[in-house]
């Protein structure tokens, strides 16, 4: 008798292939699910591999457009950055993947879902919080938290031996001394030799950075969402969400834009080192920040900055599908109603340079700010403004003087 049906988030790699066979050994019927979110993958080879290993069904879902429009664009609107540097490339992908996983589980009548995330990382939390939020009665099988599994497979050698015993195809190319995860938003490198924070990440750099400028015009509609990008060097324009982001990844990547080496604080309580490459996301962050400042009221933007930090923390910690994150996203969307216009920028040797901007919703008043035109502004008014703001400082100084006199 089968213990039930489990939908496994499958990559086609060694770990999840071994998990597939192990789940079958435990008495489960296994449905494999592979999400295409822009990674460089032979999806048909993965399908054939899963079928050969006994998967009951195989789902390969193209989520690239959904990923950009429903997950990356809200992150762009929020100027989402975790701990001042990380653009959340992995964190925004996990709820996208897990949402489709539970949709398949519900449709197929599966009582279980499973994943290959480790017991020390953030991804287990992100996957499972999404699953519980969208399918509360689901049961989750996390092999790397089950003692009989992780005691049996203490490292890659044990997995390789198990694979050979069970006819699981094993990698024929040498394994890199680190792990890598890729999607449309970014590529991340961690673990292996990179766990030593002193080891230089220069070993990851491939090829040469292009040494000439590319000049772009990203366009934003009222909502702070990119709708077009034009390369001013050759006139090429991209207008769909997927094409815009893929194109900026291509050009930004050639210039080494968006590469960081950081130590971050995992939600689970430990520090970890990660190297991230987020070229398209970095270009759009710079462009969006610029047009947002150009069109948004000062005090609204101050509040929105705090919301962006909160959004980043919630997404990093796995709470995309929480009431608080839903509330924050709605507030951020409201703030974007007048964020519209065009930014001209260039990318060169790892940097993004803003060259100019224009918007029909601009709050920039050239006449008001000009040093050559007085405009609708009386400089005498500044005297009263300064005196009012000095009241607090004078009182503080008076109090400090009283304190020193008493001493």
Average pLDDT score over residue span 367-378: 84
* Mean confidence (pLDDT) of the chain: 92
Please state, in angstroms and rounded to a whole number, the distance separating the CA atoms of residues 72 and 92.
Answer: 7
Please state, in angstroms and rounded to a whole number, the distance separating the CA atoms of residues 30 and 56.
Answer: 6
Alpha helices in 70-205 (DSSP H): 73-78, 89-108, 123-134, 147-150, 156-165
Write down the domain spans for the chain. 5-66+87-175, 181-296+338-358, 367-396
- Decide if 123 is catalytic: yes
Q: Tell me the per-residue pLDDT of 277-301, one tens digit each, with 9 for 90 and over.
A: 999 999 999 999 999 999 999 999 9
Higher pLDDT, 268 or 206: 268
Q: What is the pLDDT of residue 404?
A: 66
Domains 5-66+87-175 and 181-296+338-358 share a fold: no
Cα within 13 Å of Cα(313), Cβ side: 9
Is residue 1's pLDDT more than 60? Answer: yes
User: What's the token pair of residue 398?
Assistant: 């008076």
Q: Among candidates 100, 102, 144, which has minimal Cα distance to 123?
A: 144
Rounded (5°) CA angle 120-124-129: 135
Is residue 343's pLDDT more than 60? Answer: yes
Average pLDDT score over residue span 28-45: 96
**How does residue 121 score in pLDDT terms, banded at 50, 70 and 90?**
very high
Please state, in angstroms and rounded to a whole number, the distance separating the CA atoms of residues 156 and 29.
Answer: 25
Q: Which residues pair with 31 in a beta bridge?
A: 7, 57
Q: Tell me the per-residue pLDDT of 302-316, one tens digit each, with 9 for 90 and over.
A: 999 999 999 999 999
Alpha helices in 112-176 (DSSP H): 123-134, 147-150, 156-165
15, 29, 335, 359: the catalytic one is 15
Average pLDDT score over residue span 352-356: 95
- Decide if 15 is catalytic: yes
Is residue 319's pLDDT more than 90? Answer: yes
Q: What is the pLDDT of residue 172?
A: 62
Average pLDDT score over residue span 354-370: 92
The tokens 């971050």 sit on which residue? 264
**How does residue 209 score in pLDDT terms, banded at 50, 70 and 90?**
very low
**How does residue 210 score in pLDDT terms, banded at 50, 70 and 90?**
very low
Higher pLDDT, 84 or 235: 84
Q: Tell me the per-residue pLDDT of 149-206, one tens digit each, with 9 for 90 and over.
A: 999 999 888 999 999 999 998 876 667 777 888 999 999 988 888 888 888 887 665 5
Contacts of 106 (CB under 8 A, 6+ apart): 135
106, 145, 158, 179: the catalytic one is 179
Q: Minimum mean pLDDT among 18-32, 98-112, 209-223, 342-356: which range?
A: 209-223
Please state, in angstroms and rounded to a whole number, the distance separating the CA atoms of residues 124 and 369.
Answer: 52
Task: Specify whether the CB–CB gap between 340 and 357 falls below 8 A.
Answer: no
- For the entire predicted model, the pTM comes to 0.92
The third-level CATH classification (topology) of the domain covering 181-296+338-358 is 3.90.1260
- Decide if 179 is catalytic: yes
47, 64, 94, 273: the catalytic one is 94
Top-level class of domain 5-66+87-175:
alpha beta
DSSP-assigned letter for residue 176: P
Is residue 208's pLDDT more than 80? Answer: no
17, 100, 123, 335: the catalytic one is 123
Q: What is the pLDDT of residue 260?
A: 94
For residue 277, report the phi and psi dihedrals to the nearest 5 degrees.
-120, 115
Please state, in angstroms and rounded to a whole number, the distance separating the CA atoms of residues 362 and 302.
Answer: 17
């Amino acid at each position: 008798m089968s213990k039930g049906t489990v939908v496994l988030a499958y990559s086609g790699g060694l770990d999840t292939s071994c998990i597939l066979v192990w789940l079958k050994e435990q008495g489960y019927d296994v449905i494999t699910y592979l999400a295409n979110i822009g990674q460089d993958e032979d999806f048909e080879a993965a399908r054939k591999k899963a079928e050969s290993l006994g998967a009951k069904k195989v789902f390969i879902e193209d989520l690239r457009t959904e990923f950009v429009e429903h997950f990356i664009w809200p992150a762009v609107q929020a100027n989402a950055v975790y701990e001042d540097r990380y653009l959340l490339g992995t964190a925004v992908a996990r709820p996208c993947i897990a949402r489709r996983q539970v949709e398949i589980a519900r449709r197929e009548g599966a009582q279980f879902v499973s994943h290959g995330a480790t017991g020390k990382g953030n991804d287990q939390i992100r996957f499972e919080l999404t699953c519980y939020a969208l399918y509360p009665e689901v049961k989750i099988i996390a092999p790397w938290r089950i003692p009989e599994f992780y005691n049996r497979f203490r490292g890659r050698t044990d997995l390789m031996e198990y694979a050979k015993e069970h006819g699981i195809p094993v990698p024929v190319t040498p394994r890199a001394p680190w792990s890598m995860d890729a999607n449309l938003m970014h590529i991340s490198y961690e673990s292996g030799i990179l766990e030593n924070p002193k080891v230089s990440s220069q070993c990851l750099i491939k090829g040469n950075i292009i040494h000439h400028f590319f000049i772009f015009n990203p366009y934003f509609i009222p909502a702070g969402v990119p709708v077009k990008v034009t390369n001013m060097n050759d006139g090429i324009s991209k207008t769909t969400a997927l094409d815009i982001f893929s194109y900026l990844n291509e050009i930004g990547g050639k210039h080494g834009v968006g590469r960081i080496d950081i130590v971050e604080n995992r939600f689970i309580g430990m520090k970890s080192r990660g190297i991230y490459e987020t070229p398209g996301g970095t270009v759009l962050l710079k462009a969006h920040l610029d047009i947002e400042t150009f069109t948004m009221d000062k005090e609204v933007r101050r509040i929105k900055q705090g919301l962006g930090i909160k959004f980043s923390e919630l997404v990093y910690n796995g709470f995309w599908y929480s009431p608080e994150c839903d509330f924050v996203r709605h507030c951020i969307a409201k703030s974007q109603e007048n964020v519209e216009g065009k930014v001209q920028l260039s990318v060169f040797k790892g940097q993004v340079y803003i060259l100019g901007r224009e918007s029909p919703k601009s709050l920039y008043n050239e006449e008001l700010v000009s040093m050559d035109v007085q405009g609708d502004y009386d400089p005498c008014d500044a005297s009263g403004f300064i005196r009012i703001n000095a009241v607090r400082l004078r009182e503080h100084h008076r109090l400090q003087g009283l304190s020193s006199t008493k001493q």
